[in-house]
Every structure is written in C-alpha cells, then in structure tokens.
A and B are shown apart, each in its own frame.
Chain A
Amino acid sequence: MHASANMTERAALSKAPRAFLHRLRSGDEIAHIITLMFAALVVGITALLVYQLWIQSVLSRQKFGWIFFVTHVWDPLAGQFGALPFLYGTLVTSAIALILAVPLGLGTAIFLSEFSTPRASDIFAFLVDLLAAVPSVIFGLLGIFVMVPWLRTTVEPALQSTLGFLPLFQGPMYGVGFLAAGLILAVMVVPFIVSVSREVLIAVPREQREAALALGATRWEAIWKAVVPFAKTGIIGSVFLALARALGETMAVTMVIGNDPRISASLFAPGYSIAAVIANEFTEATGNLYLSALVELGLVLFMLTFVLNGLARLLVLTTRQRGAGHQ
C-alpha cells in the first residue's frame, strides 16, 4: 500500500514537469511569460512616472495644497505658483481643437469609407497618415509664419465684425492666442480621427448597411442611423486619442499661443498651456520650489489626462449598455 502510494506520487511529480515542458515547447508558456513581462513593464513605467512626479512635487504640494489649482498667479520671483491659467489654456485649446477636428475628421472618414472608391480611400488614408507624422515643430513654424498673420489680418477681423457681440471674439487681435493654438492643434489631431474612424467604419458589417437600405432608408440615413452608431465606440476612441494628443502637445502650441499665463474670455487673447510652460521654464528654473511647482504641473497634466480618459471609458460603457438595451 505504502509503496504503491509512493509510486503514484512519484508518477504525478514526474508528470507535471513533463506537461510543463511540453507546453513550454509548444510556445504557450514562453509567450505567456514574455508578454506578461512586457505588460508589467509598461504598467511599471507608468507607475514610476507618477511616483516620480509625486515625490518631486512634494515641496509645492505641501506649500500650496489645493490652492494650487485655483491660483492664477505664476510669479517665480515671488515664489507664487498657481496652475489655473495653464489648466484653463490647456482645456480651452484642446476644446477648440476637438470642436473643429471632430466634424472635419468624422466627415472625412465617412466620405472615405462610404462614398469614395476603395482605391482612392486607401491613397487618401495614406496621405492623412503622413500628416500625422509631421513633426510638431514644423506645424509650429507654419503656424507662426503663415497661420498667425492670416488669423490677424483676415480671420479674426472677420469674426469680430460678424460675431463680435460674443465675448469670445472681442479684444485686440494679435494673431497668436487661444484660437491660433486651437486651430493648429485641430490640424494636428485630425489625422488621428480620420485614420481610426475610417478603419472602424470600414469594419462595420455590410449587412448593417444593406438592412437599412432594404428598409427604405436613403444612403445618408443608412450611414447616419445604422453605420455610424454601430461604429460609435471606435469613433469615440479616436476622438479621445486626438484629445490626448492635444492635451500633451508642447512645441506647436508654445509657438503660437502667446505664452501669457492669463485667463481671458476672448479667444483672440494670448494664453498658456501646461505642457508649454513646463517646456519653457524647466531648464532655467532655479530654486527648489519653482522646480517643484513645474513638476506638480506635470502631475496635474497627468491627472487631467487620467480623468478625461476615465470619462471616455465611461462614455463608451454607457453607449454600449444603451445599445444592448435597444436589442
């Protein structure tokens, strides 16, 4: 009895490694371990980033606390630091960018997936991807030498004379400012929306379109009521990818935003963004508190991205559930 029990135990022991070896040989286990390591590394890097931002902003966090978010003074000499104008500038420019880029990008994507020939669509998509690869400093240079003068002499006077009753379009026109930064960001993020939305729309099953058409819908009705809602999740995803890009963009924004930490209702006024101020002031920041405040701005930007990403997930989740409810 005793001996046979021992035997089976030994057999079980020798069997397990053999199975493991077999799986190892078939690649599953290796793939599992390696991909797990990669995934852990990515998470680890993100965690390390937050940890470093948290640690290095300790001086500023202790000194200002939550006041940091509502103070609008940024005076390195007096040791007064507040994130509000930068937060405002970041949000306003990103909002302008999305307001302009979403209809443009979505319209382009619908045209490419639904109306144009597949060949033309592919060529166009390739060109749009090229636009995404243009370095941001090139956008900034074009912005400052071409777009800004055009805004100052043509667009802004036109806006003021037609919509000047709105506080958004009042005040002196410099060319540089929130509007310029928003516009350049719009151009920069459109490729993300076009590229991702087009792929998502193309992936919508044919039956979806055919069913709508069979029910007597026009082509546009089929697109707008059957195809686009089907692809909603992916489209929202593309928009938030674009938003993330807009929030973090540094070079092009700082070249055209005017770099003045002030909160103005007018879109013509100069402003400042979080990424831009960090890039501009980090190298010459003397004094520990100053440096710490800049790091805290980095933390704020990270949090902002985090919160907006969370909202995006929530949005996707609710739309999915609503979709499920309809079925």
Chain B
Amino acid sequence: MVRITTPCSGVTERSFGCNRTVTMQTYNFVEEIVKKTITSGCLSLSVLLVGFLLVSCSHNAGNTNEAQQTVLINGAGSTFGYPIYSRWADDFHKAHPGVQINYQSVGSGAGIRQLLEGTVDFGASDAPMTAEQLGQSKIPVLHFPTVLGAVVPTYSIPGVTAELKFSPAALSGIFLGRIKKWNDPAIARANAGVKLPPNNIVVIHRSEGSGTTFIWADYLSKVSPEWKTKVGASTSVNWPVGLGGKGSEGVTALIQQTPNSIGYVELTYAIQNHILYGLVQNSSGVFVKASLDSVTAAAAATADSMPADFRVSITNPSGKDAYPIASFTWLLVPTQITGANKRAAIKSFLHWMLTDGQNDAEPLAYAKLPSAVTTKEDVAISQIH
C-alpha cells in the first residue's frame, strides 16, 4: 500500500477526496499522471499546496471553532459561598478548559434579583427563595445545595475563658432581651463551674443583610415561638436588642472590645480567626461544639425528609451529634437554559460540584454535603433542559 495524494482535477472542493489511500494496482497509472503533471510544470505542486492549505485550514477552523465555543457562565449572589465558588470556577476550568465560570459575590438578595431579571445564568443564596420570589420567575428555578455553613455564638466576658454552653432558651432569651445578665440562671445552669459575672449582656449582631443572620434567626425561630412571632427569620431582621457590627470582622471587633458582649459569626470565620465560641444544645439535649463533622451530621439527619426542591431549613435537626445552627447554601439554576453548550456545561458543573468539587470544601472550612444529599441532587440535575 502506498499512501499518495492524488492530484486529481476538480481541485478545490474535491481535494479531500484526493487525499486518500490508493492501491498498488492504481499506482502506475497514478505515477504516470504525477509524472505528467510534474513535467507539465508547477500545476501539481499548486494543487498539492491547495490541498494542504485546505486540510490545514480546516484543522485551524476546527480549532478556532472550539475556542469560540468556550462557554461563559455567569453567576452572582452569596458572599458566604464566594471563596468556594471561585475555587470551583478555577478547578472546573482546569478540568474543562472550554468552560469559564464567572462568579460575582454581590450578596444573596442581589443574586436572586439578577437571576429573576435573567442577567445571570445562575444565582446563589444563603436563604432559599421564597414562594413569592419563585412566583416572580418566568422559568421555574431549582435549588441545589452546595456546601453547609454553620453559625456559632461568640462572646467576651472579662475573666471567662471557658467554652460556654448555651441552651436554646438561653440564646433566644438573650437575643430577645429577656435575659439581661450573664449570671442569669438560664445561662448559669448549663455552665456549672464557670464564674459568670452579674453584668449586663451586650448583644451584637450583623448590621448588613447577611446569610449568617438568616441562619441565626431561623434557628431562634425554631426554638422560640416568641422569636418566631416577634422577629422571624430573614437576612436582616428587626432586632429587639443590640448593636450592629458591619460584616463578620465588624461583629468580631465589637465583641472583642465590648466587655460582656455576645454575638454570632460563621463557623468558617471563627475557625480561621481562632475565635472562642460556645457550645449549643441540640434537640436531643446534647451540647455540641460546632465542627465541620457535626455540621455535616446535621445535614445527614435531615436527608431522609429532604423535600424534592431542596428548599429546606436544617436548623435544630434531630440526631444527637448534630450541631443545631447550620444551613445549606444554594445555587439557583433555572430549569430551562437556552443554548445546548451552556446547558451541558452547567449540568456537568453541577455534577462535578457534587462529586469532585466537594473535596474542596473542608480545606476552605466549609462542611461538605452528606452523600445522601448529593445523590438526590444528582438526580435533580436531569430536570434542567
């Protein structure tokens, strides 16, 4: 077998066909033609060149098409999820160079608004969308839990270095302004051996709308009927008492400076900044210190009763290992995505996020999803079409 490019006529459009394998039988004939054409000057050369050019051009065209087909996915929302979403965008881009994910941490509320207005491909929120918001969306929106966040009580009391234990009644009482002094029996009962001063408690909360506040208020709503009716759960609430600090760093600064103060910060923030935080009594009566494991345990405890749309609050779950003040944070993805490439890219990203992506969670101090939840979510991806 001899591989030869046949300089046949009908140069341009048929030049692919000329670039084929010919057998020995036809070789002589071809050789003759080749000789003829060579002798007839540069015609054959030019034909060959054209052939090569066309072949190489078509290769180039293929490459540029691929480059043009880089799928750009825009997302916006939660600032809480920003560190891991940006990591995921990088890692996913490395694994799939054709997909570029751009995530802007504009806040959950702004993320939801941008999703409703169709200016982003997906949103991200620390609180699930309300029925009213879902009603405003022209296209049904799916919720995909991504990782878990937890919120911990942190405090500074002169002379107290112990990890305090907080019962639900103590926390709701303090934040409602009912419990005013640190040596109140509701606090002291659980902390035998710790000398609590008879000083007034200064409550410190987040001043800006925040997913952290949502988780905290959602928990208090579950353990205190009074909180539920008077205050409720939202990213910003009408606080009965206290001072507002701007951001986790603002809250931490105020707590550390103000004697006898108590506030709340994300577990991530407390771990990274080595902040002293308290234990919280869960629904089984056990005082649990928040850790990435105890947060994943909280999610696992609710996996069986998980609703199909994943819009679920997992604060105060059952399970004796479960830390009670934890929540999913969600990606919000429309069920209809125009553009097959974009749709495929988003679906493959969601799948990747639920599998390989989960390994990024713990190094960044997020609690990863329990496998019972990721399995269910993986099934839900098929609803995108």
Chains A and B come from one and the same complex: yes
| Interface residues in chain A, defined as those with a beta carbon under 8 Å from any beta carbon in chain B | 73-78, 80, 144-145, 148-149, 152, 172, 174-176, 254-255, 258-260, 270, 272, 276, 279-287, 291
Q: Which 5 pairs across A and B sit closest by C-beta, in order of nearness? A: A284-B209, A259-B244, A283-B107, A259-B207, A280-B208
Q: Give 16 A-B pairs besides A258-B244, A285-B109 with Cβ atoms closer than 8 angstroms.
A: A76-B209, A76-B234, A77-B234, A148-B257, A149-B257, A172-B200, A176-B243, A254-B207, A260-B244, A281-B209, A283-B79, A283-B107, A283-B110, A283-B209, A284-B210, A287-B133
Nearest A residue (CB) for B214: A284
Chain B contact-residue range equals 35 or more
Provide the residues of chain B in CB contact with A280, threshold 8 Å.
207-209, 236, 244, 246
Provide the residues of chain A in CB contact with B238, threshold 8 Å.
73-78, 80
CB distance from A60 to the nearest CB of B (A): 16
Q: A283-B107, A283-B109 are in contact. Are A254 and B246 (CB under 8 A)?
A: yes
Contact check, B209 vs A174: say whether CB atoms are below 8 A apart.
no
Q: How far is the CA of A13 from the CA of B238 in the complex (A)?
A: 73
Nearest A residue (CB) for B238: A75
Secondary structure of the B side of the interface? loop
CB distance from B291 to the nearest CB of A (A): 27
Secondary structure of the A side of the interface? loop
Contacting residue for A174 out of B106, B250, B258, CB 8 A: B258
| Interface residues in chain B, defined as those with a beta carbon under 8 Å from any beta carbon in chain A | 79, 106-110, 112-113, 127, 130, 132-133, 200, 202, 207-211, 231-239, 242-246, 250, 253-254, 257-258
Nearest A residue (CB) for B202: A174
Contact check, B236 vs A144: say whether CB atoms are below 8 A apart.
no
Nearest A residue (CB) for B242: A260
Q: How far is the CA of A285 from the CA of B109 in the complex (A)?
A: 5
CB distance from B331 to the nearest CB of A (A): 16
Nearest A residue (CB) for B210: A284
CB distance from B186 to the nearest CB of A (A): 21
Provide the residues of chain A in CB contact with B113, threshold 8 Å.
286, 291
CB distance from A284 to the nearest CB of B (A): 3
Q: How far is the CA of A176 from the CA of B258 in the complex (A)?
A: 10
Provide the residues of chain B in CB contact with A175, threshold 8 Å.
257-258
Contact check, B106 vs A283: say whether CB atoms are below 8 A apart.
yes
Q: A284-B109, A284-B208, A285-B209 are in contact. Are A255 and B236 (CB under 8 A)?
A: no
Provide the residues of chain A in CB contact with B239, threshold 8 Å.
260
Q: A259-B244, A284-B107, A284-B210 are in contact. Are A77 and B200 (CB under 8 A)?
A: no
Provide the residues of chain A in CB contact with B210, threshold 8 Å.
284
Q: How far is the CA of A158 from the CA of B112 in the complex (A)?
A: 49
Nearest B residue (CB) for A141: B253
Provide the residues of chain A in CB contact with B242, threshold 8 Å.
260
Contacting residue for A286 out of B130, B254, B257, CB 8 A: B130
